[in-house]
Structure 1
């Protein structure tokens, strides 16, 4: 299969209403539809319910945003972060529903499935099943599982299985609460960028990217605050043996292996990200349909001088898709991009 030509939004969320109860053992209350608006327990999310769950609404909003296609993944509050009875069933139901909506709209929608995070053996079987799908192109995971990240098991084992099965990985923060972040939405405004930076540190300083050279892993929200502090990591790596204990490359070098979406909310921040990363690893992201996302995900990369063709080609490479036919270099068009 091949999505419709045009920029691909790799960071968009979807959850069918039959799974609004969330994964078994979830620390969060169930989702609910109240007069067309989505609530998490008693908390209003400022999201139209149909934008999260109705595929026709998702497709209409995709067209309005000027996108060729969208990659759907579960919202972070649906991640199966607890080891509880019934988690495997929840994961299976989500992946089956995601496969169906993407297969019904093969030129418009792709998916990133869920895995049983606490059980690497089961996660590997789920990944192997997804690897046979043409529309499920990877998995979505949180940056932290309890007090651990990707440099330790079980998350490191899950990344290994994804890399071995040629599946992409999207990392989305969970907005974990801390007592000093109870006001002003700081659990999101500060917490999410810190979670993403923690994942980036685990991947680079932990030697994960060196051990798994085939791994394609994207940090959303432009990698959080990681681009602004990778220089600090490099200084620590140069000066301290404990920072080098992960037996990886210098963090500046490893950082170039990471992928990022362009949802930085600021042109200067996106320009910094581009300077610190590999520009061929930058992709369009919207965080649809959340209020911290954007309905116009192409404005920011365009403002930073990243054109739609680059966004599409980068996303296709990340997702393991063939390039569009008109990207092939031929004698009649020697200036075309060569793949």
Structure 2
């Protein structure tokens, strides 16, 4: 990443979208985002936070400092991923990335950006990723876990991970709340759907041998990796006993699991403890999910109270972003 950031804990998981891009990319079925008397809505659904918390850089900077953070990494909300009509989304993607670079450049290292990219066309993705790699204050991209029923073990999504690794860009994988009829109540599309999406992508990366092919890839899964820490033993058993499970990878999934990054948004100390039991201690990074209602309200205090100190969170965040340690800057 070009440029540097403020010292202190880095929240790698927060969201920003400029007002002119609230209508969302072409083909989006959700009705666009809109402001109603200062509150942000997704279609007709209230999102329960002020519009400025998503759109106004000064508000985000103030909230970052209020949370005791040194810096915050901002990316588009998952509704803005260009997946519904990707061939028509080039202008939206370019506009977001241009405005993101401008926004973070005005914050004296308090905000870092993760851009958008098409996931259906490796050539288009390479062009945009190359521009992002040259932009000050941009560390990488944010992407959904599943694209057209596929994850990152095959097809164009896997190629994009290769391009990101080649260019030294970080990748943050954030779920999209994909609808399923059994999740149409109790907010299960988020409470169950989001962790399941992330778990699918973690499994694809591990069992598909992605990190064996791309050992330098910096890829982070939010919400503590979803259900993956609890399923790692099951995946390992399957890898040892079934040829179809181990066909794509040459080492057991637990071995590659230690190369993945995960954020701390688990909402449960026991879930964080389980994540720590399986993940590498230098790959657990601070997250918040700001400004959504499912956010961790104390992104520094929660992990610090459960065994991950601020110095480790800062060092791990810098490592994920491809930055030198703070004392070497």
| Distance across 1 between alignment mates of 2:280 and 2:205 | 16
Question: What is the rounded CA distance, in whole Å, between the counterparts of 1:248 and 1:128 in structure 2?
Answer: 31
Find the partner of 1:259 among 258, 261, 268.
261
Q: Does the CA contact (< 8 Å) of 1:82 and 1:118 recur in 2?
A: no
How far the C-alpha of 1:154 sits from its partner, in A, is 1.1
Task: Tell me which of 282, 285, 288 is aligned to 1:286.
Answer: 288
For 1:151, the equivalent position in structure 2 comes to 153
- 72, 75, 78: which one aligns with 1:76: 78
Give the structure 1 partner of residue 175 of structure 2.
173
Alignment partner of 2:136 out of 130, 134, 138 = 134
**Deviation at residue 120 of structure 1 after TM alignment:** 1.1
Cα displacement (A) at 1:129? 1.0
TM-score under structure 2 normalisation?
0.97
Corresponding residue SS for 1:107:
coil
Shift of 1:84: 4.4
| Within-5 A mapping of 1:1-339 | 1-325=3-327
Q: 1:141 Cα shift? A: 0.2
SS at match of 1:292: coil
SS in 1 for 2:245: coil
- In 2, Cα distance between equivalents of 1:86 and 1:324: 41
Instruction: Identify which range, 80-89 or 237-246, moves more after superposition.
Output: 80-89
Any stretches of 5+ residues in structure 1 without a counterpart? Answer: 329-339
CA–CA distance in 1 between the matches of 2:18 and 2:208?
Answer: 36
* Distance across 2 between alignment mates of 1:2 and 1:206: 34
The Cα shift of 1:248 comes to 3.3
Q: What CA distance in whole angstroms lies between the structure 2 residues aligned with 1:28 and 1:192?
A: 17
Shift of 1:317: 0.8
Structure 2: give runs of 5+ residues left out of the alignment. none
CA distance in 1, matches of 2:202, 2:296: 24
Distance of 1:310 and 1:33 partners within structure 2: 38
Q: How far did 1:9 drift?
A: 0.4
Offset of residue 85 of structure 1: 4.8
Equivalents in 2 of 1:63, 1:84: separation in Å? Answer: 36
- Whole-Å Cα distance in 1 between the matches of residues 285 and 86 of structure 2? 35
Aligned to 1:154, the other structure's residue is in SS state: helix
Q: Give, in angstroms, the shift of residue 119 of structure 1.
A: 1.2
Asked whether the 8 Å contact 2:86–2:120 carries over to 1, the reply is: no
In the TM superposition, residue 47 of structure 1 has moved relative to its aligned partner by 1.7
Following TM superposition, by how much is the alpha carbon of 1:75 offset from its aligned partner in structure 2, in angstroms? 0.3
Deviation readout 1:14-44 (Å, 9 max, x if unpaired): 0000001101111221111001111111111
Hey, what's the Cα distance between the residues in 2 that align with 1:14 and 1:74?
5
Q: Once the 2 structures are TM-superposed, how far is the Cα of residue 185 of structure 1 from its aligned partner?
A: 0.6
* Counterpart Cα distance in 1 of 2:221 and 2:160: 16
Aligned residues: 327
Q: Compare relative contact order (CA 8 Å, sep 6+) and give the higher one, 1 or 2.
A: 2
